[in-house]
């Protein structure tokens, strides 16, 4: 069997293969609440045959949203909206569902990408005051964030834990904590955005302190038999910034606290970044992290060809592959990967007759998830 289609255990959660759909923001929520768009979007991806599906960056507080259209999970209304979508997906798909919990930090309060994505001022419509470890804006001409005090740190940490409890009530299978792409937890990790002089800034141990506290809070709030994972930026791609060696140390600290897997991306913290974009350009970062931990490591970034994905796993550079924009372009990417590698993949019975004769028998019947009682 191709390694891409071997099962993978992530903290007790069994994935049928090693293709993970990464979280992709849709900017289509209303006051943080999921809409029918999310049911359509996640529903089609849940039919793709991937090993797991991750719900987009979900803000744990209103000011933690990237845009005013972001999904949230901070009150009963946002929880009920997500419950409706998850129940709709689960009626037809047994694919494991994860959620990425996030806080955008200083990169919050922006316009939707198709409206330019620029920062919206705190006193303008759809805008609010951003927060960060230090009062340093992302772009020099932006309104700076407020540096979080101790009460602010405690409030955000508690909000992550509350969102984790809500995710458990909804019945989600796993949590991914967003500590990448220049958002709040990454901002604490990088010396470029964190110039604090208290115990949350300075040396590596201090810069890791708040992200590790958030992980501990989420891990304590989510059922012990369900995994909590983390997404990191392996480097800032800026001299003097966060490095892959620091990422490996951070990953080892997370694993010691019960982290079940780590997803290695990069960049997003500083507009000066110089990213050598190309096929598999982030895989070397995943490889360094994999050498430091025993938990599964997930690679991502311009992995578009099934044979390319298979080679990454065969070479031992990662344990799973994440796809994002590629699966929006080709929602049946796992089907085509199975055909290319001589494997089989789950598909809804309604689609089994779509299999071309020349493809062979690659589709097997997917079973709907069993309904789970609401707490």
Active site residues: 183
Q: Which of 17, 14, 89, 86 is nearest to 49 (CA)?
A: 17
CB 196 within 8 A of CB 208: no
Q: What b/e sequence results for 16-47 when a residue is b if at least 16 CB atoms lie within 10 Å of its CB, and e otherwise?
A: bbbbbbbbbbbbbbeebbbbeebbebbbebbb
Comparing C-alpha atoms, which of 249, 244, 250, 245 is closest to residue 265?
244
Question: What span, in angstroms and rounded, lies between the C-alpha atoms of 225 and 14?
Answer: 12
Phi, psi (rounded to 5 degrees) for 149: -90, -175
DSSP string for residues in 312-339: HHHTTS-SEEEESHHHHH-TTHHHHHHH
Q: Is 63 left (phi over 0), alpha (psi -120 to 50) or beta?
A: alpha
365 in Cβ contact with 345 (< 8 Å): no
Phi, psi of 123 (to 5 degrees): -95, 5
Phi, psi of 162 (to 5 degrees): -65, -40
Helices (H), the chain: 36-45, 76-90, 150-170, 184-189, 204-221, 244-256, 283-290, 306-314, 325-329, 333-341
Query: With contact defined as beta carbons under 8 Å apart, do 45 and 77 qualify?
Result: no
Strand, coil or helix: 176: strand
Per the DSSP assignment, residues forming a β-bridge with 365 are 347
């Amino acid at each position: 069997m191709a390694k891409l289609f071997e099962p993978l255990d992530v903290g007790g959660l069994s994935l049928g293969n090693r293709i993970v759909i990464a979280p992709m923001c849709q900017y289509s929520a209303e006051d943080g609440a999921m809409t029918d768009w999310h049911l359509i979007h996640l529903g089609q991806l849940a039919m793709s045959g991937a090993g797991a599906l991750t719900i987009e960056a979900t803000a744990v507080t209103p000011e933690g949203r990237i845009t005013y259209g972001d999904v949230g999970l901070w009150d009963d209304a946002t929880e009920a909206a997500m419950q409706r979508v998850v129940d709709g997906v689960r009626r037809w798909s047994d694919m494991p569902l994860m959620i990425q919990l996030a806080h955008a930090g200083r990169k919050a309060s922006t316009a939707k990408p198709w409206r330019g994505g620029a920062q919206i001022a705190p006193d303008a419509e759809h805008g609010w005051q951003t927060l960060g470890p230090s009062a340093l804006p992302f772009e020099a001409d932006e309104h700076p964030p407020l540096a979080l005090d101790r009460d602010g740190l405690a409030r955000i940490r508690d909000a992550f834990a509350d969102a984790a409890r809500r995710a458990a009530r909804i019945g989600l299978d796993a949590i991914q904590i967003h500590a990448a792409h220049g958002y709040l937890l990454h901002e604490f990790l990088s010396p470029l955005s964190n110039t604090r002089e208290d115990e949350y800034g300075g040396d590596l141990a201090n810069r890791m302190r708040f992200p590790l506290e958030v992980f501990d809070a989420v891990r304590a709030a989510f059922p012990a038999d369900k995994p909590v994972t983390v997404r990191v930026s392996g480097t800032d791609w800026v001299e003097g910034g966060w490095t892959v060696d620091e990422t490996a140390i951070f990953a080892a600290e997370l694993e010691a606290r019960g982290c079940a897997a780590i997803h290695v991306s990069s960049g997003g913290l500083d507009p000066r970044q110089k990213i050598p974009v190309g096929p598999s350009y982030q895989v070397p970062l995943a490889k360094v992290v994999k050498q430091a931990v025993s938990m599964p490591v997930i690679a991502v970034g311009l992995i578009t060809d099934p044979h390319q994905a298979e080679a990454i796993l065969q070479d031992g550079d990662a344990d799973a592959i994440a796809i994002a924009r590629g699966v929006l372009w080709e929602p049946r990417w796992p089907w085509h990967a199975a055909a290319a590698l001589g494997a089989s993949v789950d598909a809804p019975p309604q689609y089994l007759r779509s299999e071309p004769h020349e493809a062979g028998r690659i589709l097997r019947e997917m079973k709907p998830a069993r309904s789970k009682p609401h707490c």
